[in-house]
């Protein structure tokens, strides 16, 4: 057999017997996808970005190898009795497969004496999980050692304070902050106060390394802290300190559950110290949002905060605004929000025209067309192109002459239908629930409720699935997460994995990454990766690995990259008789997410998680006794106090299924004693008596349950009774979970199995980071195939050559050349997606400067008590525009066409009907004189109009002006966004003419922006001049407004206001 880069070689193979497992019913487990792009890491071009409808509308690679490269391939052997075994078991020695450069015969080589027992795909993918020379946080420890010492020195004094005196420290610190003392000087005392409050309320004393994390966040940097090191508690330290200024703090999380959990749990600390702590949840009213945003510290998700910002900039009255000015923001899982989500802009959309039946026709055409005959697919760019035959056949089927005829516009329908077929796959990119297509978050595996792909793509997928096609949408407002969070004067974040992306954080966000040392040494063992030629061999090895770990009692967490993979692997595990839990976007699994993840560390537990679903919930070895106690209390309390029809839309045909809150009994480690069960029921009875039988909403009941399951003081006797019952349950469960934890540790701790490389090392690190928390033992191993999407799409010729060279599916392979090739493939993916995010940022920067100008103008109109100065400015500039358009500064006076000028002026304002050519001649000896005279007349006409309106309806003119400015800004900004979208698509082609598309976009975008701003002021002043109040007579007025002296229908005035532009 010949090598692609060297002389002919021969292959030596040693086969061995693997652990017996039932044979899967299918030939693959799970099968590789026949079609589709790089999932879950596919780029989202702007037209494929998920959007969310506005509530008022429809809420809705490889370099060539050296010629001398000689690959050596060895296969893994079971390792020691600790359970850190390789996936394939055999005899007593190591095995290898080698290429022999000069030998032509095939020979068999026996076990290596004293050889390695583990596959050495050696630092695969560039030493992904090595430190890369990092110091593990020692630099941070030394830098902040003095400040930590000062905080520790204050501990005896602060510990001696009463609760009231401790709370009084907050008022004293606030007073010092208002007096101008810097927050840096207040930091040691503030952190000491928070540490003491945490001890009293939560029973947790922040470690010194957590204090360091808080200082890094206060400094406006990113703190990289390993899983289980207490990031949630760390956030309270800088949040409390920065809230002392009275300007507000936002703590941003990735989902509603984490926001509520953090607010209700660690939020007790600042509440205990006298600060107000708010929480934003998806279904809150504007009034509730405003109240919670006004608190000292507000917990909110990134999407809710972003959409509230966009909604505020669509508000028609000040009363509709919910946000306060931005000050300080702490982002939890900062890499997920600022990097993973950076390719997905926030979009608020309104409904456009009704969906066309063209979507169904295009879907049928896409179904009939064949890949590589009628169209080609670029999975890397997430794009499709029609071939000549595809063009011809599509035009013939549709009976049209030109697919791209702008009068027909069939091209977008056909191309979107093919994309829906090839690049957007069911149970990978989306799921279908209740005849609705729901997007699956590519990074978390969660359903993105309320989000839709834009530009007809979502409708194309609905047509493909045969469900009802929803209305098309049009963009009303949009912003990228990058530019949104850059609006905060002070921004920081925390995550377990940021160092690999430090360059991007610094270049785009100006955020430095600081590694925080762990409180206990991290002893997790990251085993070398196992690489197979084909997907079949990989999945069989994964099944064997799970089986081996399960037999010795080790909990296993398996990470998959799609719902499809998790479901298929789950089926194979059922056939093998291995009990397990599945965590993915399927609705039956989503509701149990926290429950599943929290119990993934129990003895023999097997959990399949899609794309890191469950981030933010610790996996505790032996099981989480307190979480189980909460579930048991919830099971007994909720059915008694929750209104069963709260928030449920009842169908006329059938009643909705009743929620029971019943938990699978196998989750609990033991049955409760009669004494404890009796105490729990007594506490619940007291709660029912006090709160009422089935009288609370589910959200209200969940909040009270959360308070009941936390530590700390409470003055509510009902909560205190429930808390005592909760502690009794937890104490009984802990007897079993602590014993189980010892067994799990003895077995080797949590073992993480990765089944595919992600788009960056950082995301792989997140999966590995679920194991080895707080000094616990653990291990991880990735199983890869050369057929994996990341290598298939980005691997280049070298990977393809390896696939041709290695014919054995079931045996893992090792090669330095392979290591370099796979390493290069992942780096290409990282660079590719970084370039996409950078490009999005650069293009959105152009839009961002325009957005800032428009939103500032809008806010000025919205909040100002008097718009007179703004309208006068509009009037003067419009007079200048009309003068320049009809005469121009360079036109000699003898060539002035004053009659034409007067006609245009009087068309704009009927109050200028006294103008004559003779009058203008007498008032102007030069162009500048004429310009100044017309400005004066423009001002006078506005004041005259205002006086007329005020006589008819006092106060109406101000309201009309505000309405006219806001409505014109909104309408023209919406049209401007559409125009910029077309420009961005068009300038891409100019690269072929050696012209920089970004520069072209900036130039055209700037010109369009100037035109839009001019059009806004012209439309507004025209509408003001033409505005005529509609006055109703008294007979019409009496039935509607008994005795009222106001005879003006304001709504009619608004609707009657002229909107037409000149």
**46 pLDDT above the threshold of 70:** no
Residue 590 pLDDT grade (very low, low, confident, very high; cuts 50, 70, 90): low
**630 pLDDT above the threshold of 90:** no
In contact, 173 and 244? CB cutoff 8 Å:
yes
In contact, 273 and 240? CB cutoff 8 Å:
yes
What is the distance between the alpha carbons of residues 723 and 440, in angstroms, rounded to a whole number? 37
Residue 177 pLDDT grade (very low, low, confident, very high; cuts 50, 70, 90): very high
What is the distance between the alpha carbons of residues 600 and 750, in angstroms, rounded to a whole number? 9
In contact, 642 and 694? CB cutoff 8 Å:
yes
Q: Give the pLDDT score at 533.
A: 81
- Write out the two tokens for 10: 């021969």
The top-scoring range by mean pLDDT among 25-39, 116-130, 664-678 is 664-678
Q: Give the pLDDT score at 570.
A: 92
Listed range (187-191, 423-427, 659-663, 896-900) with the worst mean pLDDT: 659-663
> Which residues lie closer than 8 Å to 525 by C-beta, 6 or more apart?
84, 777, 778, 779, 780
In contact, 661 and 638? CB cutoff 8 Å:
yes
Name which residue leads in pLDDT, 401 or 278.
278
Q: Give the pLDDT score at 33.
A: 37
DSSP assignment of 28-89 equals SSSPPPSS--SSSS----GGG-EEEE-TTTT---PPPPPTT---EEEE-----TTS---S--
- How do 95-100 and 72-75 pair as beta strands? antiparallel
According to DSSP, residue 494 is labeled: E
> Which residues lie closer than 8 Å to 918 by C-beta, 6 or more apart?
none
CATH of 138-344+484-515, one of 3.30.420.10, 3.40.50.300, 3.30.420.40, 3.40.50.1820: 3.40.50.300
In contact, 987 and 999? CB cutoff 8 Å:
no
Instruction: Report the topology of domain 10-129+521-620+749-835.
Output: Rossmann fold (3.40.50)
In contact, 203 and 227? CB cutoff 8 Å:
no
pLDDT per position as a tens digit, 259-279: 888 898 899 899 999 999 999
- Cα radius of gyration rounded to whole Å, the chain: 33
3-state secondary structure of 351: strand
Q: Give the pLDDT score at 803.
A: 64
Q: Give the pLDDT score at 796.
A: 61
Q: Give the pLDDT score at 344.
A: 78
What is the distance between the alpha carbons of residues 709 and 633, in angstroms, rounded to a whole number? 9
Question: What does residue 664 show for φ and ψ, rounded to 5 degrees?
Answer: -55, 125
Q: Give the pLDDT score at 530.
A: 85
pLDDT per position as a tens digit, 136-165: 678 888 999 999 999 999 999 999 999 999
Q: Give the pLDDT score at 406.
A: 61
Q: Give the pLDDT score at 712.
A: 61
**195 pLDDT above the threshold of 50:** yes
Q: Give the pLDDT score at 581.
A: 87
What is the distance between the alpha carbons of residues 489 and 983, in angstroms, rounded to a whole number? 32
Determine the average pLDDT of the residues in 845-849: 90
Listed range (283-287, 347-351, 629-633, 814-818) with the worst mean pLDDT: 814-818
Q: List, in sequence order, the alpha helices (H) in 226-325.
A: 231-243, 256-264, 268-272, 286-293, 302-312
The top-scoring range by mean pLDDT among 177-191, 571-585, 642-656, 667-681 is 177-191
Q: List, in sequence order, the alpha helices (H) in 81-159.
A: 124-127, 138-143, 145-159
Consecutive H or E run containing 168: helix 163-178
**645 pLDDT above the threshold of 90:** no
Number of neighbours of residue 124 by Cβ within 10 angstroms: 24
Q: Give the pLDDT score at 323.
A: 96
What is the distance between the alpha carbons of residues 595 and 619, in angstroms, rounded to a whole number? 10
pLDDT per position as a tens digit, 695-742: 888 778 887 887 788 766 677 888 888 989 999 999 999 999 999 999
Nearest to 700 by CA among 641, 787, 630, 777: 641
Residue 472 pLDDT grade (very low, low, confident, very high; cuts 50, 70, 90): confident
Q: Which long-range contacts (CB under 8 A, 24 or more apart) does 463-469 make?
A: 463/359, 463/360, 463/362, 463/363, 463/417, 463/420, 464/363, 464/366, 464/417, 464/420, 464/421, 465/426, 465/432, 465/437, 467/432, 467/435, 467/436, 467/437, 468/435, 469/355, 469/359, 469/360
Terminal C-alpha separation, the chain: 78
pLDDT per position as a tens digit, 970-1023: 999 998 988 888 888 778 767 667 788 889 999 999 999 999 999 999 999 999
Exposure b/e, 1042-1056, CB count within 10 A at least 16 = b: eeeeebbbbeebeee
**787 pLDDT above the threshold of 80:** yes
**Which residue(s) pair with 610 in the sheet?**
560
Distances (CA, A) of 1062 to 137, 751, 874, 1016, 1029: 65, 70, 14, 11, 21
3-state secondary structure of 205: coil
In contact, 702 and 259? CB cutoff 8 Å:
no
Q: Give the pLDDT score at 841.
A: 87
Q: Give the pLDDT score at 1048.
A: 30
**Sheet hosting strand 72-75, strand order edge to edge:** 10-11, 95-100, 72-75
In contact, 497 and 769? CB cutoff 8 Å:
yes
**898 pLDDT above the threshold of 80:** yes
Determine the average pLDDT of the residues in 560-568: 84
What is the distance between the alpha carbons of residues 2 and 11, in angstroms, rounded to a whole number? 10
Nearest to 243 by CA among 194, 303, 301: 194
pLDDT per position as a tens digit, 508-557: 899 999 998 888 888 899 888 888 888 888 999 999 999 999 999 999 99
Q: Does domain 354-398+407-470 have CATH number 3.30.1120.80?
A: no
Determine the average pLDDT of the residues in 503-507: 87
In contact, 129 and 768? CB cutoff 8 Å:
yes
- How do 581-583 and 606-610 pair as beta strands? parallel
Between vectors from CA 670 to CA 567 and to CA 583, what angle results, nearest 5°? 15
pLDDT per position as a tens digit, 81-138: 333 333 333 333 333 333 333 333 333 333 333 333 333 333 333 333 333 345 567 8
What is the distance between the alpha carbons of residues 363 and 465, in angstroms, rounded to a whole number? 9
Q: List, in sequence order, the alpha helices (H) in 387-534.
A: 388-398, 410-422, 457-465, 481-485, 502-509
Nearest to 582 by CA among 603, 564, 596, 602: 596
Architecture of the domain whose range is 864-1056:
Orthogonal Bundle (1.10)
- How do 606-610 and 778-785 pair as beta strands? unpaired
What is the distance between the alpha carbons of residues 193 and 197, in angstroms, rounded to a whole number? 6
């Amino acid at each position: 057999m010949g090598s692609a880069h060297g002389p002919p070689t021969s292959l030596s193979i040693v086969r061995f017997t693997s652990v017996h497992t039932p044979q899967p019913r299918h030939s693959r487990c799970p099968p590789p996808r026949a079609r589709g792009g790089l999932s879950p890491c596919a780029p989202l071009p702007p037209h494929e970005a998920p959007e969310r409808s506005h509530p008022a509308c429809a809420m809705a690679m490889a370099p060539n190898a050296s010629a001398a490269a000689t690959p050596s391939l060895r296969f893994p052997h079971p390792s020691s009795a600790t359970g850190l075994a390789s996936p394939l078991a055999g005899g007593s020695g190591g095995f290898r497969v080698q290429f022999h450069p000069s030998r032509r015969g095939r020979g068999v080589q026996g076990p290596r004496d004293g050889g390695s027992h583990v596959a050495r795909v050696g630092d695969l993918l560039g030493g992904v999980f090595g430190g890369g020379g990092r110091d593990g946080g020692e630099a941070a420890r030394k830098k902040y050692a003095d400040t930590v010492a000062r905080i520790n020195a204050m501990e005896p004094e602060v510990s001696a304070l009463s609760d009231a005196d401790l709370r009084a420290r907050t008022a004293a610190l606030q007073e010092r902050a208002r007096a101008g003392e810097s927050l840096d000087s207040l930091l040691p005392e503030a952190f000491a106060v928070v540490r003491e409050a945490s001890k009293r309320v939560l029973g947790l004393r922040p470690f010194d390394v957590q204090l360091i994390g808080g200082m890094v966040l206060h400094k406006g940097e990113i703190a990289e802290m390993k899983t289980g090191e207490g990031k949630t508690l760390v956030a309270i330290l800088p949040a409390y300190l920065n809230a002392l200024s009275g300007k507000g703090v936002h703590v941003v999380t990735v989902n509603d559950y984490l926001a509520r959990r953090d607010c209700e749990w660690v939020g007790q600390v600042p509440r205990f110290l006298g600060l107000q702590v708010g929480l934003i949840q998806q279904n809150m009213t504007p009034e509730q949002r405003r109240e919670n945003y006004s608190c000292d510290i507000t917990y909110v998700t990134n999407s809710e905060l972003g959409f509230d910002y966009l909604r505020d900039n669509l508000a028609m009255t000040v009363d509709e605004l919910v946000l306060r000015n931005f000050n300080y923001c702490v982002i939890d899982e900062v890499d997920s929000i600022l990097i993973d989500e950076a390719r997905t802009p926030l979009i608020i959309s309104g409904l456009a025209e009704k969906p066309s039946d063209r979507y169904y026709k295009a879907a049928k055409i896409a179904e009939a067309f064949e890949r590589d005959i009628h169209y080609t697919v670029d999975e890397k760019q997430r794009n499709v192109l029609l071939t000549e035959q595809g063009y011809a056949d599509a035009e013939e089927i549709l009976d049209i002459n030109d697919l791209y005829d702008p009068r027909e516009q069939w091209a977008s329908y056909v191309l979107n239908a093919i994309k829906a077929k090839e690049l957007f796959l069911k149970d990978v990119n989306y799921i279908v629930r209740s005849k609705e297509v729901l997007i699956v978050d590519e990074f978390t595996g969660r359903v993105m409720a309320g989000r839709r792909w834009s530009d007809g793509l979502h409708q194309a997928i609905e047509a493909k699935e045969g469900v009802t096609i929803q209305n098309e949408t049009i963009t009303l407002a949009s912003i990228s997460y990058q530019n949104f969070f850059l609006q905060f004067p002070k921004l920081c974040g925390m995550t377990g994995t940021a160092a690999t992306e430090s360059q991007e954080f610094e270049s785009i966000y100006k955020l430095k990454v600081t590694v925080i040392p762990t409180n206990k040494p991290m002893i997790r063992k990251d085993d070398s990766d196992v690489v197979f030629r084909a997907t079949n061999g990989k999945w069989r090895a994964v099944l064997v690995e799970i089986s081996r770990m399960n037999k010795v009692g080790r909990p296993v967490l398996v990470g998959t990259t799609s719902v499809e993979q998790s479901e298929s692997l789950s089926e194979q595990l059922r056939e093998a008789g291995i009990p397990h839990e599945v965590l993915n976007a399927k609705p039956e699994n989503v509701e149990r997410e926290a429950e599943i993840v929290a119990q993934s560390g129990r003895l023999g537990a097997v959990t399949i998680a899609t794309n890191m679903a469950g981030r933010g919930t610790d996996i505790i070895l032996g099981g989480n006794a307190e979480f189980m106690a909460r579930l048991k209390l919830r099971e007994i309390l909720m059915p008694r106090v929750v209104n069963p029809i709260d928030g449920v839309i009842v169908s006329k045909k059938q009643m909705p299924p009743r929620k029971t809150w019943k938990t699978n009994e196998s989750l609990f480690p033991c049955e409760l004693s009669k004494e404890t069960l009796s105490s729990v029921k007594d506490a619940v009875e007291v709660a029912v008596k006090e709160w009422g039988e089935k009288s609370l909403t589910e959200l209200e009941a969940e909040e009270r349950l959360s308070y009941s399951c936390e530590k700390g003081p409470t003055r509510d006797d009902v909560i205190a009774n429930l808390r005592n019952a909760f502690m009794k349950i937890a104490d009984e469960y802990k007897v079993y979970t602590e014993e189980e934890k010892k067994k799990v540790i003895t077995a080797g701790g949590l073992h993480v199995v990765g089944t595919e490389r992600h788009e960056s090392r950082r995301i792989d690190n997140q999966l590995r980071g679920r194991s080895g928390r707080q000094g616990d033992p653990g291990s991880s191993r990735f199983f890869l195939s050369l057929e994996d999407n990341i290598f298939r799409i980005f691997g280049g010729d070298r990977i393809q050559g390896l696939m041709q060279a290695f014919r054995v599916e079931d045996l893992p392979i090792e090669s330095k050349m392979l290591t370099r090739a796979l390493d290069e493939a992942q780096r290409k993916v990282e660079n590719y997606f970084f370039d996409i995010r950078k490009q999005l940022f650069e293009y959105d920067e152009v839009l961002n400067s325009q957005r800032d100008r428009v939103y500032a103008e809008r806010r000025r109109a919205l909040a100002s008590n008097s718009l007179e100065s703004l309208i006068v400015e509009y009037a003067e500039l419009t007079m200048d525009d009309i003068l320049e358009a009809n005469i121009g500064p360079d036109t000699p006076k003898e060539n002035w066409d004053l009659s034409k000028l007067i006609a245009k002026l009087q068309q704009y304002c009927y109050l200028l009907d006294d103008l004559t050519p003779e009058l203008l001649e007498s008032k102007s000896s030069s162009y500048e004189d004429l310009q100044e005279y017309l400005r004066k007349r423009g001002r006078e006409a506005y004041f005259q109009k205002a006086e007329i309106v005020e006589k008819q309806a006092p106060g109406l003119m101000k309201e009309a002006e505000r309405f006219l400015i806001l409505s014109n800004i909104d309408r023209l900004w919406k049209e401007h966004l559409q125009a910029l979208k077309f420009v961005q698509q068009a300038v891409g082609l100019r690269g072929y003419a050696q012209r920089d598309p970004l520069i072209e976009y900036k130039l055209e975008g700037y010109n369009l922006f100037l035109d839009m701003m001019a059009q806004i002021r012209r439309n507004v002043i025209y509408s003001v001049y033409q505005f005529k109040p509609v006055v109703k007579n008294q007979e019409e007025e009496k039935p509607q407004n008994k005795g009222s002296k106001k005879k003006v229908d304001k709504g009619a005035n608004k609707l009657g206001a002229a909107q037409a532009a000149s």
